[in-house]
Amino acid sequence: MFKRSYYIAPTLVALLILLVLNLPNSTTVRIKTSLGSVFLPLFGITGVTQQASARVGDNLLPKSELIAENNSLRRQNQQLRLQLAQAATSSKENERLRQLVGWQKQSRWNVKLARVILRDPANWWRTVQIDLGSRNGLSNNIPVLSTEGFLIGRVSSVSLTKSQVVLIDDPNCKVPAIVENEARNQGLITSGGPLDESFVNLTYLLSSANVKPGQRVVTSELSAIFPKGILIGQIADNARLVESGLISEAEVKLAANLSSIEEVWVLFP
Amino acid sequence: MTILPNILILLTALLVVFFQGAFNGIRDLLGAQVDLLPALMVYTALTSGPVMMMVLSVFAGFMFDTLSVNPLGISVLPLLLIGFLLQLRRDLLLRDQIYAQFALGLIASALAPLMTVLILLTLGQSPLLGWGSLWQWIVMSGGGGIATPLFFFLFDRLNHALGYQPIVESSFRADREIRRGRN
């Protein structure tokens, strides 16, 4: 037979946990940040190991392959410089026209490259941690893009050296989006299924929305967080009526491959 | 009593949580990340005392929630309940049998995510759930079941290597030897 204390102790621990669960969000974020420092040595070891293995891989590459890659990159660089010069001209022209029409000047976004260091260990959330934090100027609700420039998610919490990014297919990340068709149908991107990370739902479309597979879906100007025009993905199937035919929704195939993201761009206003 | 096995258990919990976040081979292959904490709790509940069981549930739960978007402390409660129930029936469990270890790990790993999701829903959170979650649940349960005997094996080896070994005393004493012979 167990002693009475055996029953009392777990009950007290459970009560303490219930108390912690009811703490304000700001307090739990601070506690999480402090507790997260326990993992710092492990992050360090993983980083050093990855660097060492990358260095070994670099040393094993044959010189002829490196020269060929260097030449290819040089050619690509020249092409990009040319495109950049053209884009700069277009940008200046755009600014002039905006001034003439009296439209508001568009603010430029700065980008910073971050490395994905961790994914959420729980299967019911889709978040990643990146190696930039408040000391790098990050704050909450900053948009995050893949290295190819497709939307991935937004920063949801920030500590000194790390930040949590809630991915676009997480239930806590909702993105106002627009379909690039004639009607410019507006909708809201919500999470897809728990197994397939490459699909999300575009919901709250008009019941009469003429959405067809292959049409591009980009961020809408209605969002307070995401700048407009960032590519999210493509419509994967025809829109279907939901909620007793009041609205329709369609599946969107994400442009970014969320299961294999290693580096991301963080957009700064 | 030595504190070393307990430290090893806590260190393993820390590594397990980090492994679950940092290495995604299983997630990419099977579509779900295996949670090894319930399996570790089965080992701890069956081999350590109630204090260690509670320390592990709090430590491992907090560490898991730190790396996750889970509300802080939510993973503690399922681990605590699993540990408590196991210790309540500890004398009746065939903890040295591999099939019993597998079965307990399977049940614990099936119960833990169910309870966590239930608490999340009770708290008004909206986790990512769907028909695919059933597959994830099967993977998590199976993975935990397989991991439990491995934890028993690993810790038995570690304790054997690092702990004190019992000294086998011989009953032979030279001063009490009866010498037989003709004198």
A10 touches chain B (CB under 8 A): yes
Written as tens digits, the pLDDT of chain A (269 aa) is 456 777 888 888 889 999 988 889 889 888 988 898 888 888 888 888 888 888 888 888 888 888 999 999 999 999 999 999 999 998 888 888 888 887 776 667 788 999 999 999 999 999 999 999 989 889 899 999 999 889 999 999 898 888 999 999 999 999 999 999 888 889 999 988 888 888 999 999 988 888 889 999 999 988 888 888 899 999 998 878 887 778 889 999 999 998 888 899 998 77
Amino acid code (one letter) for A186? Q
pTM, 2 dp: 0.85
pLDDT at A50: 84
Query: Regarding beta strands A231-235 and A247-254, do their DSSP bridges make them parallel or antiparallel, or are they unpaired?
Result: antiparallel
CB contacts under 8 A, B 98-127 vs A, are 113, 116-117, 120, 123, 126-127
CB contacts under 8 A, B 39-58 vs A, are 50-51, 54, 57-58
Please state, in angstroms and as integers, the Cα–Cα distance from residue A66 to each residue in A10, A79, A81, A106, following that order. Answer: 61, 20, 22, 41
Transcribe A163-185 into DSSP letters.
EEEEETTSTT--EEEEE-STT--
Match 């939307």 to its residue by tokens.
Answer: A151
| Dist. CA A103–CA A98, nearest whole Å | 5
pLDDT at A105: 67
Q: How wide is the angle at C-alpha B141 spanned by C-alphas B158 and B45, nearest 5°?
A: 45
Where is pLDDT greater, at B6 or A241?
A: B6
Q: How far apart are the first and last CA of chain A?
A: 65
Helix (H) or strand (E) holding B99: helix B98-122
Under DSSP, is residue B108 helix (H, G, I), strand (E, B) or coil? Answer: helix
Q: Which of B22, B28, B128 sits opposite A125 (nearest CB)?
A: B128
pLDDT in tens, A68-81: 999 999 999 999 99
Q: What are phi and psi of A144, to 5 degrees?
A: -125, 130
Q: What is the mean pLDDT of residues B143-156?
A: 94
CA A203 from chain center: how many Å? 19
pLDDT at A208: 84
CB-based contact B104:B86 (threshold 8 Å): yes
pLDDT at A115: 92
| B69·A31 Cβ contact <8 A | no
Q: Which domains does chain B have, with CATH numbers?
A: 4-162 (1.10.1760)
Residue of B nearest to A164 (CA): B69
| Dist. CA B48–CA A34, nearest whole Å | 28
| Dist. CA A204–CA A128, nearest whole Å | 27
Q: Which of A28, A46, A191 sits opposite B71 (nearest CB)?
A: A28
pLDDT in tens, B27-45: 888 989 999 999 999 999 9
Among A15, A17, A200, the residue to mutate for chain B (most B Cβ within 10 A): A17
Query: Regarding beta strands A199-206 and A163-167, do their DSSP bridges make them parallel or antiparallel, or are they unpaired?
Result: unpaired
Chain B residues lying within 8 Å of A156, measured CB to CB: 69
Where is pLDDT greater, at B70 or A9?
A: B70
d(CA B3, nearest CA chain A) in Å: 20
Where is pLDDT greater, at A233 or B170?
A: A233
Q: What are phi and psi of A134, to 5 degrees?
A: -65, -25
| Dist. CA A200–CA A252, nearest whole Å | 5
Residue of B nearest to A46 (CA): B22
